Amino acid sequence: MTVRAAVAGASGYAGGELLRLLLAHPHIEIGALTGHSNAGQALGGLQPHLAPLAGRILEPTTADVLAGHDVVFLALPHGQSAAVAEQLGPDVLVVDMGADFRLQNAADWDRYYGSEHAGTWPYGLPELPGARAALEGSKRIAVPGCYPTAVSLALFPAYADGLAEPDAVIVAASGTSGAGKALKPHLLGAEVMGNMTPYGVGGGHRHTPEMIQNLSAVAGARVGVSFTPTLAPMPRGILATCSAYAKTGVTPEAVRAAYEKAYADEPFVRLLPEGQWPATAAVYGSNAVQIQVAYDAEANRIIAISAIDNLTKGTAGGAVQSMNLALGLPEDTGLSTIGVAP
Amino acid sequence: MTVRAAVAGASGYAGGELLRLLLAHPHIEIGALTGHSNAGQALGGLQPHLAPLAGRILEPTTADVLAGHDVVFLALPHGQSAAVAEQLGPDVLVVDMGADFRLQNAADWDRYYGSEHAGTWPYGLPELPGARAALEGSKRIAVPGCYPTAVSLALFPAYADGLAEPDAVIVAASGTSGAGKALKPHLLGAEVMGNMTPYGVGGGHRHTPEMIQNLSAVAGARVGVSFTPTLAPMPRGILATCSAYAKTGVTPEAVRAAYEKAYADEPFVRLLPEGQWPATAAVYGSNAVQIQVAYDAEANRIIAISAIDNLTKGTAGGAVQSMNLALGLPEDTGLSTIGVAP
Amino acid sequence: MTVRAAVAGASGYAGGELLRLLLAHPHIEIGALTGHSNAGQALGGLQPHLAPLAGRILEPTTADVLAGHDVVFLALPHGQSAAVAEQLGPDVLVVDMGADFRLQNAADWDRYYGSEHAGTWPYGLPELPGARAALEGSKRIAVPGCYPTAVSLALFPAYADGLAEPDAVIVAASGTSGAGKALKPHLLGAEVMGNMTPYGVGGGHRHTPEMIQNLSAVAGARVGVSFTPTLAPMPRGILATCSAYAKTGVTPEAVRAAYEKAYADEPFVRLLPEGQWPATAAVYGSNAVQIQVAYDAEANRIIAISAIDNLTKGTAGGAVQSMNLALGLPEDTGLSTIGVAP
Amino acid sequence: MTVRAAVAGASGYAGGELLRLLLAHPHIEIGALTGHSNAGQALGGLQPHLAPLAGRILEPTTADVLAGHDVVFLALPHGQSAAVAEQLGPDVLVVDMGADFRLQNAADWDRYYGSEHAGTWPYGLPELPGARAALEGSKRIAVPGCYPTAVSLALFPAYADGLAEPDAVIVAASGTSGAGKALKPHLLGAEVMGNMTPYGVGGGHRHTPEMIQNLSAVAGARVGVSFTPTLAPMPRGILATCSAYAKTGVTPEAVRAAYEKAYADEPFVRLLPEGQWPATAAVYGSNAVQIQVAYDAEANRIIAISAIDNLTKGTAGGAVQSMNLALGLPEDTGLSTIGVAP
């Protein structure tokens, strides 16, 4: 089986990571690569780590260029995916790595993005209850945000088993590739090295409604989220520290059991042995998720912590995993749980 | 006025930072410097950044060596300070940079350190209500832990004004110098670069009871703390993200006013303009504290974030600040609020 | 074809990287894993990035444990490989990742290592003239040092074509994993971040005679080397800046042609397009080598610069590449030229 | 004595570092601060580490704004300083931190900058033979480039004593603040962390003629330079590895003696004890220079290595040091040799 894939937005970090993974995928043939301001340039100067594609020239992002592929990945600024997808027709598998089709609630979209809601596509986080069924055979996939991936996987088992009160406090640290290749002063190397700083504090981050959506669906009731993202001095990785009050009568054993049950058969999620805590370095460049959970009896809180690579499981790896499901391939085809460390 | 100071434990990170500050202090004459396994070695090889002291030889940490100074700083492993202090007599100003005399409650000490409680000394965080009075003229000072410094300053104004419920959730990131010069595999450069990882999760960190002590004193009732420290890939700095439910009727204006009142006259604490958030790089090498606070109406939480340099305001700078008070010097003598950035 | 491989020294950085690659190798079955002080421990706590091997228990490094494998990799302190290899017998492929069998000249060994010379095995740098023939079908392989790999590949084409005077000046920067997991103060994260510092200056580094050996063999006359290694604040990577006087009459075109000829058919070496320079980030985690060369007419020097990942092409990837040749497999089996960036 | 100083270009890295130092200078009163695109903004958002200046508003860079100060520092793009200086008049001390007045040879300027040569001002590297006399009482100062500072100090003693052949090979690593706050993709944090890469290879870097000028003046004959700069994953610091063939008959003792003589009375340069090598972390944020030198008998090369902070001694600290001389103040007023480490 050979699947021909195009990537719109191949010069950015998400597009580059996707190509890194697609190059290792046994069933993918890489077709058109497009860019915006970089159209006409060779990929070798833009993504020098992708040696096999060094000679490829970026084309403009048009329906003509993207036509004729089995799969089209969209790594575009939000708001642009709907128009492109429409032109590609219903038979092409379109995987949107942007935000456009993640939210179910148009009011949420309006509040956080301020434009018209494009719709909702099957949500590409297969580990969530019910998600696989919607992805299998689908022609449309909305790839989750990187923070919602880390946070939803850390917390959903506690909500699935009714162990946590519906009010989560989340502080997450992300490597700076999460902000993309945008040329902003605060993303310069001299600014980020040696620096930890928060942003989007107080519910302002656009990934907040996505977390609420995922956790509420599992809990069967609205779960509120206090989310504080921070920028960490590293290229990649998210460490999400999540906690919530435990419901009355919760025991450490019940908490452990909920997570063991949720992740017993998941190919990419590893619930660590008790006493070992997640580390972003351990999942560097891999599609793996490390999770640990503890019950703090004194504070009466369940504390769940996850580590992912924001570009792999958090973006491009998650996209490939869901693509595999949509294409009927084994879910882990072309993906690895082995990190590049140290 | 010339004050002769000795430093016990001069080869570690806390001792080195203290010497960096004392070298810039106009009233300090640096006397004996002691070490343990490094006794007999020149400081130039151990602390190559302290050029003016390069030829100084470390002496063993004995009462004889430390005698005859006006001030003795102790940067020793916990459990060792009481014996040394006793031998120095009541007229010498002893500044303990370790944990021995921070806690008021012997049971807390026993639980977290497992040895006999040495006692309680005036607590060297002058910004806390009532703290200055206890430090002025004192001959004994217990320098706070680095995390409790960052956390207490971030949260106490909310408790002082009765705005927050007595249950705080804290996630803090620290540079690796916070772990000291201990030779442990997880502190190797190849392990920490590119890595974020938590430790001491679930209430296990020894700084937890110190935070509870500080916040409870201000609140007038027990404040519980859920504290998760994380190790960040940077040499210095703490970013503490702290939050608590707001009490009924709290407004953003009331929150802002509480912090403005608390820090209007503090020489080292800067409540940032609204919209600007603390950054550890901005306080690198300085005694400054950056603080910002927000009220998240949707989550009904007060979110207070602070940035300090763990070695300066978090350890050695805090020690010098309290020493100044004890000696009757202007509190900011020899200290700076200017960070080394970028 | 299934090849059963054992790894002696599986808890270190070289051993960990080797296992990362062997896990992706289609013909390798991972057999015994041994350690020294870590024997009896599970690999999951020592190499948390190697998820599929988390449950494996390290065995002691004995001939009994290593017997019965087709390939045995030795990642041991120097001086220990000869005894182990002898016990394994002549039919087992033994790949020594240490220094013991790299040098041809016993006097060099004696001078730099101060012990008895164990002998010389086929040298595992297939790109060097004549190297492949010696590796094909061999039962013994000496894996090169990381610096000699980067330096020899940067410079040998200039010497092979008689373009450079026999006196090279080399300054190389290495990530700190190159120093291994040794618990030394100068390797602590707080010391290496933000720091560049040289070591082994003035010919003292043990990799110097290996560079001289490789370049002299190509040049057909002794090539002297002035080698200065520096420690850079990154986990992985070597950037080697190498230069030598050009011989009379050398032209930029001749220099370019020599490198194009040398690397036209090499699967892992990429001579970059003119104007683009090597970057360690571009080869992160890959077996690729990036090379660029220029002729500085004013200084009359050929300047050749290479970037490798010290743990992959510089150690474990080079070992697998040579193993493939020894086993008669395609040389690039299980290896990649795609870096993990950003 | 109070000196009123203006800073043109206060929002960049050079301007920010200068302000950090001027704030600690006992005789300086900080006057007008100007910017270009940032004019009208408060400094607090642009340089958040300069707490005492947070409320200062940047003014446009005009002669009117800069008039009425005793000293005017220019941290402007090259080509702009001459016009500003002319308008300020001959009685104002003008310290140009750009390149405009460093080179003596108009042809060099033309070749490397491609515009008209503005002239030559007294060169602000007091440690060079004869430099102090030209700076004392001067009303114009050309602050050296950061690389020429590190390289000239590392090598000039060897040339002053006639020990080295006139052909130097230099490889230097710089922190990314050396490239300024320019918004270029290769300076993004995600690109520079974990990455070492060269640039301006083959004599192309604009600092090359400045090095040649300095070393040639000392040697009394033209010294050629092969200079390769590299970008290192750290915010600050330059490590310059410099070497040259030793002249016939040179001994290690003669080399050591030359450096001891050159730096015996220099307040900011420290020739390290034999066996200890420079480290950029040891001079972080300080005006100190660490130097070590060795004679490699086998390669017959003198290897001299220096470490500076590119923003302090390499730019703003050097500027203040020269200003002190020009104003008749003790040369080390307001400057420190103590680094911020770890």
D49, B193: Cβ pair inside 8 Å?
Answer: no
DSSP B147-193: HHHHHHHHHHHHHHTT-EEEEEEEEEEE-GGGGTT---GGGBHHHHT
Residue with tokens 């370049």: C215
D201, C303: Cβ pair inside 8 Å?
Answer: yes
- Tokens representing D220 are 């009394």
Q: Which of A24, A338, A341 sits opposite C52 (nearest CB)?
A: A338
Interface of D with A in 150-189 (CB under 8 A): 175-177, 181, 183-185, 187-189
A228 bridge partner residues: A171
pLDDT beyond 80 at A45: yes
pLDDT at C203: 76
C280, D201: Cβ pair inside 8 Å?
Answer: no
Task: Note whether C26 and C8 are within 8 A (CB).
Answer: no
Distance from CA of B75 to the nearest CA of C (A): 18
Mean per-residue pLDDT over chain D, rounded: 97
DSSP one-letter code for B123: B
Rounded to whole angstroms, the Cα distance separating A271 from A288 reads 11
Closest CA to A150 of B196, B305, B242: B196
Phi, psi of C191 (to 5 degrees): -85, -40
Catalytic one of A21, A32, A118, A146: A146
Q: Please, which pLDDT band fits residue C16 given cuts at 50, 70 and 90?
A: very high
Q: Please, which pLDDT band fits residue D264 given cuts at 50, 70 and 90?
A: very high
Q: 3-state secondary structure string, D286-322?
A: CCCEEEEEEEECCCCEEEEEEEECCCHHHHHHHHHHH
pLDDT at A260: 98
pLDDT at D59: 98
pLDDT beyond 90 at A202: no
B277, A190: Cβ pair inside 8 Å?
Answer: no
Q: What is the pLDDT of residues B175-229, one digit of tens each?
A: 999 999 999 999 999 999 999 999 999 878 999 999 999 999 999 999 999 999 9
Q: Please, which pLDDT band fits residue A1 given cuts at 50, 70 and 90?
A: confident
Q: What is the pLDDT of residues B63-115, one digit of tens each?
A: 999 999 999 999 999 899 999 999 999 999 999 999 999 999 999 999 999 99
Whether omega for the bond prior to residue C342 falls within 30 degrees of 0, making it cis, is yes
| Amino acid type, D82 | A
Rounded to whole angstroms, the Cα distance separating C291 from C276 reads 9
Task: Note whether D4 and D70 are within 8 A (CB).
Answer: yes
pLDDT beyond 90 at A204: no
pLDDT at B204: 84
Task: Note whether D164 and D247 are within 8 A (CB).
Answer: yes
- Counting one residue from B and one from C, how many pairs have CB atoms under 8 Å apart? 62
Catalytic one of D6, D76, D146, D307: D146
Q: What does DSSP say about strands B93-96 and B71-74: parallel, antiparallel, or unpaired?
A: parallel
Q: Which of A191, A226, A277 sits opposite B201 (nearest CB)?
A: A277
Q: What is the pLDDT of residues D189-206, one digit of tens each?
A: 999 999 999 999 987 899
D243's CB contacts (< 8 A; 6+ apart) are C169, C226, C228, D168, D169, D170, D296, D301, D302, D303, D304
Mean pLDDT along residues A235-255: 98
Q: Please, which pLDDT band fits residue D184 given cuts at 50, 70 and 90?
A: very high
Mean pLDDT along residues C179-199: 96
Which of the pair, A78 or D196, is modelled with greater confidence? Answer: D196
- Tokens representing A127 are 């580990």
Q: What is the pLDDT of residues D331-341, one digit of tens each?
A: 999 999 999 99
pLDDT beyond 80 at A203: no
- Chain B residues touching residue A177 (CB < 8 angstroms): none
A338, C24: Cβ pair inside 8 Å?
Answer: yes
Sheet holding A93-96, edge to edge: A59-60, A28-35, A3-8, A71-74, A93-96, A140-142
Q: Please, which pLDDT band fits residue B23 given cuts at 50, 70 and 90?
A: very high
Whether omega for the bond prior to residue D342 falls within 30 degrees of 0, making it cis, is yes
Mean pLDDT along residues D212-224: 98
Q: 3-state secondary structure string, A51-109?
A: HHHCCCECEECCHHHHCCCCEEEECCCCCCHHHHHHHHCCCCEEEECCCCCCCCCHHHH
- Chain D residues touching residue C272 (CB < 8 angstroms): none
B253's CB contacts (< 8 A; 6+ apart) are none
pTM higher than 0.90: yes
Which of the pair, C172 or D204, is modelled with greater confidence? Answer: C172
In a mutagenesis test of the A interface, which of D188, D199, D230, D315 is the best target, namely the one with the most A β-carbons within 10 Å? D188
Q: Which of A13, A185, A190 sits opposite D190 (nearest CB)?
A: A13
B30 bridge partner residues: B5
Other residues' Cβ atoms within 10 Å of the Cβ of residue A103 = 25
DSSP A311-325: TIIIIIHHHHHHHHH
- Chain B residues touching residue A298 (CB < 8 angstroms): 203, 224
Task: Note whether A52 and C271 are within 8 A (CB).
Answer: no
Q: What is the ipTM of this complex?
A: 0.97
Q: Where are the beta strands (DSSP E) in C181-316?
A: 197-198, 224-231, 238-246, 269-271, 289-296, 301-308
Q: What is the pLDDT of residues B25-65, one digit of tens each?
A: 999 999 999 999 999 999 999 999 999 999 999 999 999 99
Helices (H), chain C: 13-23, 43-46, 63-66, 81-88, 106-113, 131-135, 146-160, 189-192, 208-219, 252-263, 317-327
C190, B176: Cβ pair inside 8 Å?
Answer: yes
| Orientation of helix D317-327 relative to helix D13-23, angle to 10° | 50
Other residues' Cβ atoms within 10 Å of the Cβ of residue B116 = 11
pLDDT beyond 80 at A229: yes
Task: Note whether D286 and D339 are within 8 A (CB).
Answer: yes
Q: What is the pLDDT of residues D63-87, one digit of tens each?
A: 999 999 999 999 999 899 999 999 9
| Amino acid type, B33 | L
Task: Note whether B28 and D320 are within 8 A (CB).
Answer: no
Mean per-residue pLDDT over chain C, rounded: 97
pLDDT at D271: 98
Q: What is the pLDDT of residues D128-138, one digit of tens each?
A: 999 999 999 99
Phi, psi of B168 (to 5 degrees): -105, 140
Among all residues of B, which ones are annotated catalytic?
A: 146
Mean pLDDT along residues A7-18: 98
| Amino acid type, D301 | R
- Chain D residues touching residue C305 (CB < 8 angstroms): 198, 201, 228
Mean per-residue pLDDT over chain A, rounded: 97
Q: Which of A171, A235, A278 sits opposite B194 (nearest CB)?
A: A235
- Counting one residue from A and one from D, how many pairs have CB atoms under 8 Å apart? 62
- Tokens representing A68 are 């004729």
Active site residue C242: no
Q: What is the pLDDT of residues C111-161, one digit of tens each?
A: 999 999 999 999 999 999 999 999 999 999 999 999 999 999 999 999 999
- Chain C residues touching residue D176 (CB < 8 angstroms): none
Rounded to whole angstroms, the Cα distance separating B20 from D340 reads 8
For residue A120, give the 3-state DSSP assignment. Answer: coil
Rounded to whole angstroms, the Cα distance separating D185 from A177 reads 12
Q: Please, which pLDDT band fits residue D1 given cuts at 50, 70 and 90?
A: confident
D337, B177: Cβ pair inside 8 Å?
Answer: no
Mean pLDDT along residues A189-209: 94
Between the CA of residue D177 and those of C28, D20, D158, D206, D231, what are the distances in Å? 46, 15, 30, 17, 10
Residue with tokens 């002893």: B94
Other residues' Cβ atoms within 10 Å of the Cβ of residue B202 = 22
A234, B196: Cβ pair inside 8 Å?
Answer: yes
